[in-house]
Amino acid sequence: MVKVYTRGGDRGMTSLFGGGRVEKNSARIEAYGQVDELNSMLGVVLTDSLSADIVRKISRVQKELFVLGGDLATPISVKVKVPRISRSHIKRLEREIDRWDATLPKLKNFILPGGIKVGSKLHLARAIARRVERSIVALTDEESINPNILPYINRLSDWFFVAARYANHLSKIPETIWKGRTS
């Protein structure tokens, strides 16, 4: 059996797919580390009672996040064959957003995150996805990445927003409208 620990990162360096080593605080490692955090959040979401359809979709997104992490861990210039995020991943998210959104009340105002437990957790997943997106943008300031990555993570945050609304709507939990005032 292979040991979990290798001691290879004990001095603050880690290996990339296709070779090469980088510091653990590099923009690339930060980006795919945050993807891992988002994926872990989805594991928390899946502990709630959900419809079989939503469980399937979230489980699929978890697998896609593994692809995204591997994509980010493999410099685009390296000629290693790894799965990459593609336009079809983005299109599928868009179709699901459109299907869910068609069943929801039209938004006329900003809403506050919340609702039932799973709705609140999906809003948190959206916020984490936005942080992931910011870290990926920081990475693009330093090096080239797969051009489908940013649209995918941007669309995924939208997907979480609509999924949260959809979960709350199915539970008949009204949305809290932000009125633009703090009083």
pLDDT value, residue 181: 65
pTM metric for this prediction: 0.89
* pLDDT score of 14 more than 60: yes
Write down the mean pLDDT value for the chain: 89
* pLDDT score of 4 more than 60: yes
Give the number of other Cβ atoms within 10 Å of residue 26's Cβ: 16
Please tell me the CATH superfamily of domain 21-105+114-173, with its number.
Cobalamin adenosyltransferase-like (1.20.1200.10)
For residues 72 and 165, give the distance between their C-alpha atoms in angstroms, rounded to a whole number: 30
How do residues 69-111 score in pLDDT, each as one tens digit? 999 998 888 887 899 999 999 999 999 999 999 999 898 889 8
pLDDT value, residue 70: 92
Least confident of 56-70, 94-108, 111-125, 166-180: 166-180
The amino acid occupying position 88 is: S
Residue 28, burial from CB neighbour count under 10 angstroms (0-12, 13-18, 19+): buried
* pLDDT score of 34 more than 70: yes
pLDDT value, residue 179: 84
pLDDT value, residue 37: 96
pLDDT value, residue 41: 96
The tokens of 22 are what? 């980088």
Query: Taking a C-beta distance cutoff of 8 angstroms, is the pair 54, 131 a contact?
Result: no
Domain ranges for the chain: 21-105+114-173
